Structure 1
């Protein structure tokens, strides 16, 4: 059992809040198009921070817990790439100006962290009280994996999102982005801008991703501190990673299938753990080092296979996948130009 002091928790949360504050300040104070060089520098910085934390954590608390952290970090990082797919779709659907994308992503990451923190507390509490929750989490991940694999060549229907449709129906929305504001006054009337709708879309999508990512990381560790830090450090680098790899995302044609395999594997791991605890001690469990190796192997194979596929077939295009089928858009059925 990992013993984390209140001071360590406070320092860790403080570090994460400082990094978030830097992102927020940069986004608010200097709206601009993020270039490749800037995105690369920030991506490297966040990866080094995550690795540095993992090394410190392993030295301080032992190699076993260190391995769990890196396994959790890799799981969350791989799932966050699927987040990036959806972020790209949202930015394209709502035609978010390049100078405001930095701000949208930063707020989206803050919302994701808050939601994940809530789910971590709930998940840890439930797991501590009821061991059968491991079974429920495992079944949830397997169901998600099956649905994601079935609809791996589809995109989520952002404009059919319940929150987005409700906001457009209930709130007055301006026709244009107004200097990156969320609300403004037009002829004395308070109105929301499209940026407000974009944040609603990202927030609701973050909620759906949290429902999958938290059970997934609990599949490689049952320590709330590791779950929280793995999520936090994976998400903190998401903003820079978006600008760095958004041109590469279209080439990762097998990523959704790979993520489905990872989620199914972790789901089986959770069910085996439940059976080991509640059914019979003779039921084997999957050690964390094996989990780390399997996840790394799947991601490596998926990446290489995707690049080979797109090199041979330049028309092949990646999709984030969807948990349910969507009818084709008119533009697609009519073979019109555009993302939908």
Structure 2
């Protein structure tokens, strides 16, 4: 019988993560600044270490299966988050967010992302529980996304989403920023600042990112707790990674190929999983197809690591040759 994560472990883990996020948020609100490379490196290292300690706790207190699923899920979400970070950079540039308030914008955007992803995770878990064939759809979507990713995205500035356009028409906005404030009073009337628009753009953009990342991690584990914590740990260090990588993101030319390979692999794995547990009457008479079994978590973890390492190393070699 498959083991489950103890309730006390789930509650304790989520409580600890909330405390860390609140402390991080209070620190940024009290002291807005542009972090140095050393500060950003220490924070990124801290969050990576925290994720590895959490994985170790799962190995020791639950079992190796949950520990390996978390590692594979965290690496997948982390790699997708790095790709998403490039879009965040474009949004912050497009809205001309002052550098000292970029940290606050990213952190609030990340908190919004966690809320949206929590909703997606609950919806995904409910669908999986009642409709096993949903893996066919998840798998096909990821394979399609992988093809699009491999072809390369649009390098132009991101266009305003419908949510931002609706808000701009419905509410009065100032043309300039007022520190990190979301709204100000002018002549007795309340006006909102472009900072609010930047946050809405970050949050609504992450809804689109979740359409890829949530099905991808459900291809590794069906535990909502592991799915959620892997997303939290992947997003927690994203703000510091923004300052650490800086302009390097644009130079990692082959990164999208590595991410495409990961998405394509997980998409194929999801289709195989659906076939192994097939219940659709028009496919093989409703009987499972077990000719090719879905790969296990350890194999998936190896594929994810190899794809990211190869893509990163190839990008760095290309960058050095170009220089």
Fold agreement, TM-score > 0.5: yes
Alignment of 1:167-178 (within 5 A): 167-178=167-178
1:190 is paired with a residue of what secondary structure? strand
Matched, 1:302 2:303: no
Matched, 1:311 2:320: yes
Greater mean alpha carbon deviation, residues 282-291 or residues 126-135 = 282-291
Q: Tell me what 1:82 maps to.
A: 83
Q: Tell me what 2:189 maps to.
A: 189
**What runs of 5+ residues in structure 2 fail to find an aligned partner?**
279-287
Matched, 1:261 2:270: no
- Number of corresponding residues: 313
1:191 is paired with a residue of what secondary structure? strand
| Residues 219 and 270 in structure 1, CA contact (< 8 A), matched pair in contact too | yes
Stretches of 4+ aligned residues off by more than 6 angstroms: none
Find the aligned partners of 2:5 and 2:150 in 1 and give their Cα distance.
38
| Residues 55 and 66 in structure 1, CA contact (< 8 A), matched pair in contact too | yes
Find the aligned partners of 1:269 and 1:291 in 2 and give their Cα distance.
9
Matched, 1:224 2:224: yes
Find the aligned partners of 2:156 and 2:208 in 1 and give their Cα distance.
11
Q: Tell me what 2:144 maps to.
A: 143
Matched, 1:288 2:258: no
Using the TM superposition, give the Cα deviation of residue 305 of structure 1 relative to its aligned residue in structure 2, in angstroms. Answer: 1.0
Q: Tell me what 1:4 maps to.
A: 5
Cα RMSD of the aligned pairs, angstroms, is 1.4
Find the aligned partners of 2:3 and 2:232 in 1 and give their Cα distance.
18
Find the aligned partners of 2:195 and 2:292 in 1 and give their Cα distance.
51
2:277 is paired with a residue of what secondary structure? helix
Find the aligned partners of 2:157 and 2:217 in 1 and give their Cα distance.
26
Find the aligned partners of 1:153 and 1:100 in 2 and give their Cα distance.
28
TM-score, with length taken from structure 1: 0.89
Alignment of 1:27-176 (within 5 A): 27-150=28-151, 152-155=152-155, 157-176=157-176
| Residues 158 and 201 in structure 1, CA contact (< 8 A), matched pair in contact too | no
Find the aligned partners of 2:306 and 2:113 in 1 and give their Cα distance.
27
TM-score, with length taken from structure 2: 0.93
**What runs of 5+ residues in structure 1 fail to find an aligned partner?**
315-340
Task: Write the deviation string for residues 50-79 of structure 1: whole angstroms up to 9, x where unpaired.
Answer: 000101101122222211110001001100
1:155 is paired with a residue of what secondary structure? coil
1:185 is paired with a residue of what secondary structure? strand
